[in-house]
Amino acid sequence: MTDGYTPQNMDAWRFDRVPDSPKYAQTVFDRLMPLPDSAGDDQWDWIDMRCRPMGVPRKEDRKTYIHQGYAEALWDFKNRDLVLESAPNDKGAVLYRRDMDTDQGELLDTWHAIASIADEYGVPRSERNQRFERLFLRECRRLACPDGRPLRLIHGIRFTNRAYWVDDHGDGSQTLNRAEAGDPILDMPFELNLDSEFTDREARRAREIMQGVCADPDSLYNLLLLPAAPFLQKYKHLTFALAGDGGNGKGVFFSAFTRYNDQTARLACTVDAEKLAGGSRLSGTSLEQEPAKLIGKLWAFDEDANGLDQHQTERLKRLSTGDRIDSRRLGRDVVSFNPRATLCIATNLDFVTGMDASMRRRFAFVRMRDHRDPDEIGMRVFRRYCATIGAAGFIMASCEHWMANPDGRARIVQLNRPENMTDAELWVAGQIVETGYASSADNPYMRASDGVAIGRLKTKMGLVSVRRGRGEPFVLAVGSSKEARARFEPFRAYAAEMLRGEGHVAPPEPLDPAPATRDPHEYGFGCDYVDAGPDKVARNWKRRTEDPDTDTTLPPQYAEAWACVPAPGYAVLDFDMSKTPDGRDGWSIVSTEVGRYDSLAFPATFLVRTPSGGVHAYYRLPEGVTLKNAVHEQDIPLDIRTARKGYVIAPGSLTSGGRYEIADARPVAEISGTLLGWLAEHGYVDGMGADADDAQVDADTGEILDRMGFARAATPPAARPDGVNRGATMRLNPPAQTPGATHMPLVEWTYGLCRRAAEQGFEQGEVDTLVERMRAMARPGHDPKDTALIIRTALDKAGLATTVPLR
């Protein structure tokens, strides 16, 4: 105690009389005292934080002087359970209220910030008085410790033997501090009080636990910033995003703060980041209410966030920096407050931010280790640690990390997942990998005039627009900044593997169990069927497929083996084994020279394994393309069967050599331009059609476009063979659909498909199939009512109708 200082007597406290004072405050304060424990339910008005019955002082007519909420606040002040924050020049403007364990009826050493006295104590709108708000700020500023120092809440972390906090000196400078046991500062109230002893051993152990769930050192660096970030940032600026597949520990890590530690749980909340960021599909009520969860909280966790686009992440900047925001709870007034919570987001989807310096400062990304087995020893240890030591250990490691890195600058980590790339993005990545640039005008999956979509693509992939030379058109290239290069790197690696694929990749093995659907026409392949013998010979196959009185639309009912005869517009690539022991088979040659299977160059499609080890790949051909019915052109072990000029043994058949089994049950894909070019180079192509080499495909409508981007004025496509549902085989190419984005891409896409179906004279069953596919490809989370309305409108404009219920 300081010599000459007399500790404050709260029972004798006198409020300063100033013109702004509320009436009756002193009267109520003086008369507030606990009622006897024997007081009946009709005598007390509330139970205080020390479990004592309390009554609101009343006038002679039994009316209260002030609302009960203000009386409760005066009682908390009298018990020194309301304190003012520590701030430069003692100009704090935020009050803190002590926490209570309502289950156990115990006072705690943790405190939470309040937005206003009226809101914290439930004063109704009609009885609110701003003079009380100012009264408590004035009087709390007068509170002092027993030794005479001002009683202020320290915005920091206190262990039983150590404390960490940031001092703001009021001149633009801050200092990150650490105090050991015995320092008088540990006698002050801290915003977070952990009843754990700080040990270097526990801090190192927590760091090792966190390292085990991070994919790389930079992600670990950023994750170590997270636990203590609400307290040790010199200025509020960081939002954290943890990304990766499910089951890699993101939610378990968050639960260490929200579930397993009482002190941190009271200062944490769970939120919906999409509601905080805003989106067109969200109601105004939900957008107004969500920010209210942040009041008095220091961590805000979203354990399963949707992917956020650039516009939504820019809106999160206000939360990162603590800019004042408004919120409204149901039945309450609008509350304006400065959010102090550090937002922590876990997501399995893309998270796109701008590349400007301010966005880099505000987001700390963490890539979690994927493909974890929940029963592996590392994950079991991680879950056990989170449920026992958990938040306290993580905060110890974080405090020491902040002491070593007080600027709190996050390292660059790329979160966007290359496997989620759209066709347009994958095409751009492939072009840049091979040529160093990509021309938007040549992108077959995106309109060159769609500046908004191109802008989103550039931001996501770290690209910029440059000229290759004076007078040349702008093209896309990787930006020169470290951030841009880091963003593009995963896309580069993924595209390089997809497009070039070094070395032979074995074809997929037969599916086990075999799909219930086995026939090629059910996967979108136009063909006829005729029976074949155990020697794989289909006698008189050509005469039977051309005979109008013979039904070849379905496999023969009782045959053990049957042939599949491709219709015009379709082809089977028959990859044979090598004739010599040291030779290369057809599959290895194509996968090496064209690209790996399931890439842009070598698209995944309906695939069948033969008994000899070969592969049948079923493809749809672009209009105007004619392949040869060829056998081992240029001695390459690859045959082609197409346009009723040959056949292959169909899947499910049993011959003397064995059974033909499905290895990939995906719908029949259109053959790629890269693969066509390779086939032409090796003599497998008869013709590419007029201007076929200059053709593009409209990403929304599926139309073939000429080099200028106009619909090609070619002869109408020939009708598909009987039995082929064009609604099932039409290439859809859905647009990128970001949560919260406009419906316009979906509107244009559905109308383009419906218009094309009308032009081709789709029958009712084909229209219904197309509608089902369009509805299924609307992005997850898209409002079904909106989707139904968009499809109905597109059908009406195209002059079509459907029997599929659209509600």
Q: Are residues 631 and 715 in the same domain?
A: no
The answer to whether residue 373 sits within a structural domain is: yes
**pLDDT confidence of 275, banded at 50, 70, 90?**
confident
As a whole-number percent, the residues of the chain with pLDDT over 70 amount to 83
Query: Same structural domain for residues 639 and 762?
Result: no
Question: What CATH number corresponds to the domain at position 634?
Answer: 3.30.2250
Is residue 738 assigned to a domain? Answer: yes
Q: Is the overall model pTM greater than 0.85, yes or no? A: no
pLDDT of residue 48: 93
Per-residue pLDDT at 103 exceeds 60? yes
Opening angle at CA 47, ends 41 and 50, nearest 5: 140
695, pLDDT greater than 50: no
Domain boundary among 129, 150, 171: 150
Judgement on whether residues 101 and 38 belong to the same structural domain of the protein: yes
**pLDDT of amino acid 150:** 93
Lowest-pLDDT choice from 152-166, 317-331, 388-402, 471-485: 317-331
Same domain, 541 and 684: yes
Does residue 206 fall inside a structural domain? no
Same domain, 357 and 376: yes
Query: What CA–CA distance (Å, rounded) separates 644 from 563?
Result: 11
C-alpha radius of gyration, the chain, whole number:
35
pLDDT band per the 50, 70, 90 thresholds, residue 714: very low
Residue 2 lies in a domain: no
Give the domain-ending residue among 627, 655, 689: 689
Domain of residue 757, residue span: 696-798
Express as a percent the part of the chain with pLDDT over 90.
30
pLDDT band at residue 696 using 50, 70 and 90 as cut-offs: very low
Asked whether residue 436 falls in the same domain as residue 579, the answer is: no
**Where are the alpha helices (H) located in 405-443, listed in sequence order?**
423-435
**Predicted pLDDT of residue 136:** 96
- Mean of all residue pLDDT scores within the chain: 81
In whole angstroms, what is the distance from residue 116 CA to residue 429 CA? 52
pLDDT band, very low/low/confident/very high, at 498 (cuts 50, 70, 90) = low
CATH code of the domain in which 253 resides: 3.40.50
Q: In angstroms, how far apart are the furthest CA atoms of the chain?
A: 118
Structure tokens at 497: 């593997």
The answer to whether 264 and 111 are in contact (CB under 8 A) is no
Which of 469, 499, 529 is at the close of a domain?
Answer: 499
Residue 19 lies in a domain: yes
pLDDT in tens, 147-167: 889 999 999 999 999 999 998
Would the CA dihedral through 212, 214, 217, 222 be positive or negative? negative
- pLDDT classification of 79: cutoffs 50, 70, 90: very high
Q: Which of 320-329, 458-467, 468-477 is predicted with the least confidence, judged by mean pLDDT? A: 320-329
Q: Assess whether 616 and 573 both reside in one domain.
A: yes
The pLDDT of residue 697 is: 37
DSSP strand pairing (654-655 vs 658-659) = antiparallel
Q: Are 382 and 436 found together in one domain?
A: no
Q: What is the pLDDT of residue 737?
A: 57
723 in any annotated domain: yes
The number of distinct structural domains making up the chain is 5
Q: 286-312: per-residue pLDDT in tens?
A: 556 778 888 878 999 988 776 566 566
Judge if 255 and 400 occupy the same domain.
yes
Q: What is the mean pLDDT of residues 352-370?
A: 70
**For every residue of 66-135, which 3-state class applies, written as one string?**
CCHHHHHHHHHHHCCCEEEECCHHHCCCCEEEEEEECCCCEEEEEEEECCCHHHHCCCCHHHCCHHHHHH
Which one-letter amino acid corresponds to residue 129?
A: N
Query: Do 222 and 307 reside in the same domain of the chain?
Result: yes
Q: Is 618 a residue whose pLDDT tops 90?
A: yes
Out of 580-589, 710-719, 727-736, least confident range = 710-719
Is 457 in the same domain as 547?
no
Looking at the structure, tell me whether residues 146 and 42 fall in a common domain: yes
Indicate which CATH number applies to the domain containing 446: 1.10.10
Tell me the CB-side half-sphere exposure of residue 314, using CA atoms within 13 A.
8
